[in-house]
Structure 1
């Protein structure tokens, strides 16, 4: 088949969904309904400005400030809004904390509900049918696929994100980070650790 041959010109074509998106963008641009520069700005904003750095700031502050963490766990929506992280896909937030006893993981079993203001654009795997189905049935196996192995005594709790509620996981703070300030701690906090499919980076 042409797509199996790396030398065939069609092998360079993107996947069908990518083609459809590009075709739609082209049509809308030609009709003057979409400005490509504006689209690029929106994508850049979500990837680099409204991306996981916002969530990392929230987590790092929670690690440093017990009163802030308590308020976050009590009413995450209000706390993150006070920091300026609110809007579409971030209206109703709940923060859940990882401990030695419980590890939290987030999935959206129906579609791909995700806290954009805190974590940016959801990764492709988060939207996949495989992740959405397996995260509920076999969360430890999914975590293992991400390179996360937890002690047997640590329970895994899976939270189903919806249009009404979205979740932010507070990963456990790595040992040996007591001397670090907020900016340094932020570099240890990954997007996956705030979904629960990863752990904070050990310095």
Structure 2
């Protein structure tokens, strides 16, 4: 039986998160300014906060992650694409003309029996926007950023993902130079499924590593 371990990858030599990062909280921060604008519109009766929340939820969970979900589904069906994603994801994205914010350099880490990967950004909230859409609030929280490295198994359990005790947990720390995407395991019972149908099982959270891909027998 494989011994259960929890480890971090080698420390980045230049994990300074320079450039356009998201840790700023001064008055000029885009997040602060956007929140102030939203508050003003709501206060004047020009915006419905429930509708704003619904739109954000849609982009976080449905529209935003579909580029990454389609990529994962295709990799499940194509062993050569799966191999190429693990060896040189940047070349694959370039070949597919997948471009956008914060995917200048992507590394893909595949889950497998006995190995589970999870992504965090300990210094701010580096995140592959062009593949996963909007980052969830919990991903940017100080608690997740600290605990995901220190006690990942406990954090995953609190988020509903309980791993076998002999599963190795690998925590990948994103930086301004490198973002990570988890390639979840393909669910059993999906033989003969098309890429489009498989993509419906791939969630944003499964590509961060805090959940498994969806249950094909579910609603």
Quick one: structure 1 residues 100 and 26, their matched pair in 2 at CA, closer, same or farther if it must change by over 3 Å?
A: closer
- Which residue of structure 2 lines up, in the alignment, with residue 120 of structure 1? 133
Contact 1:75 1:94 in 2 (8 A): yes
Work out whether 1:144 is the aligned partner of 2:157.
Answer: yes
In 2, Cα distance between equivalents of 1:189 and 1:141? 23
Give runs of aligned pairs for residues 111-190 of structure 1, distance below 5 A.
111-190=124-203
In the alignment, what sits opposite 1:3?
none
Runs of 4+ in structure 1 off by over 6 angstroms are: none
User: Which consecutive unaligned segments of at least 5 residues does structure 1 have?
Assistant: 1-16, 28-39
Task: Identify which of structures 1 and 2 has the higher relative contact order when contacts are C-alpha pairs closer than 8 Å and 6+ apart.
Answer: 2
Q: Does residue 100 of structure 1 match 2:113?
A: yes
Secondary structure class of the residue paired with 2:108: strand
**Contact (CA 8 Å) 1:114, 1:166: kept in 2 or not?**
yes
CA–CA distance in structure 1, aligned partners of residues 37 and 203 of structure 2: 33
Aligned to 2:93: 80
Aligned-residue Cα RMSD (Å) equals 2.5
Deviations 1:168-199 (A, max 9, x none): 10000010101110000000000000000000
- Are residue 54 (structure 1) and residue 77 (structure 2) matched? no
Q: CA offset at residue 86 of structure 1?
A: 1.8
Richer in helix (by share)? 1
Name the CA distance, whole Å, in 2 between partners of 1:53 and 1:164.
23
Residue of structure 2 equivalent to 1:35: none
TM-score of the two chains, using structure 1 as the length reference: 0.78
| Bigger Cα Rg | 1
Partner of 1:71 in structure 2? Answer: 84
Q: Counterpart of 1:121 in 2: which secondary structure?
A: coil
In 1, Cα distance between the equivalents of 2:172 and 2:124?
14
Give ranges in structure 2 of 5+ residues lacking alignment: 1-28, 41-51
Shift of 1:51: 1.2
Contact 1:50–1:116 under 8 Å retained in 2: no
